[in-house]
Structure 1
Amino acid sequence: MKSQMEIILEHARNICLALPEAMEHIDGFGHTTFQVNGKSFVRLSERTGLSFKSDLETQEWLLQKEQFLKTPYIGRHGWVSIQSPSDEDWAELKELIQEAYLRAAPKRLVKEWIKLHKVN
């Protein structure tokens, strides 16, 4: 049976590695991170679960929901964490992770993403 972190990592991999030029990386603290152009947009750790880059406005909104918390040390930069996402949380998390990716991605990838996902 898979551990909670293995399940979170599997979901995160499926979402993150589907994004253009996203890469998986183990950082200096042993955390699995997902990066684009050398910039992290998602990180996983036993202590905080799944963390993702956000803006301060979105962070404030998410912190009003009980399952989200401000990521220690980097929360002041907008990072948000969810310790144990439920199956129902993953649809919203996919959108939040894609937004995190767009915050970290270079402009050319953001333009490419917008062109591909433009609603007609």
Structure 2
Amino acid sequence: MKSKQGLDMLERVRGICRPLPEVEEIIDGFGHNVMKVRGKTFVMMGENEGVPSLSFKSTKEEQFLLLQQEGYVKTPYIGHHGWVSVDKSSVPDWDELAVLIKEAYLLAAPKRLVKQVIEGA
């Protein structure tokens, strides 16, 4: 992430993930900023020609509902697993994305951490 828009997106996602236990941020072999919990990816961010992208893990049911709305598209290559991306031509709804990113974390996290987050909420 090098553009101002990409760095802003990265900081917002970091802020959402900061209170979640055992989140680690890595840069994968494709240069994506990836948020993981216990080795399982739940958010991926990248940048192509200065345009940032944000994808997150979801259930297929949630994916179906999100794809009915404006602002979301099926993630290329991994969308068949339920992944959703923010449509690059839309303005992200960060309140909604905060909820969706937390849900993505809960899908990837082990039961002990899920319990810790739910009981702490």
Q: TM-score, normalised by structure 2?
A: 0.88
The answer (yes or no) to whether the contact 1:4–1:84 under 8 Å persists in 2 is: no
Structure 2 residue aligned with 1:69:
73
2:111 corresponds, among 98, 107, 111, to: 107
The answer (yes or no) to whether the contact 2:57–2:107 under 8 Å persists in 1 is: yes
Q: Does 1:80 align with 2:81?
A: no
2:61 corresponds, among 28, 40, 57, to: 57
Segments of 4+ moved more than 6 angstroms: none
Q: CA RMSD in A?
A: 1.6
Deviations along 1:13-57, whole A, 9 cap, x unmatched? Answer: 111122111011101111000000000000001247110000001
Q: Could you tell me how far apart the structure 2 residues matched to 1:10 and 1:29 are? A: 20
> Which ranges in structure 2 are unaligned for 5 or more consecutive residues?
none
Identical-residue share of aligned pairs (%): 56
The answer (yes or no) to whether the contact 1:49–1:84 under 8 Å persists in 2 is: no
3-state SS in 2 of match to 1:46: strand
Q: TM-score, normalised by structure 1?
A: 0.89
Instruction: Figure out how many residues of one structure are paired with residues of the other and give that number.
Output: 115
Structure 1 residue aligned with 2:45:
44
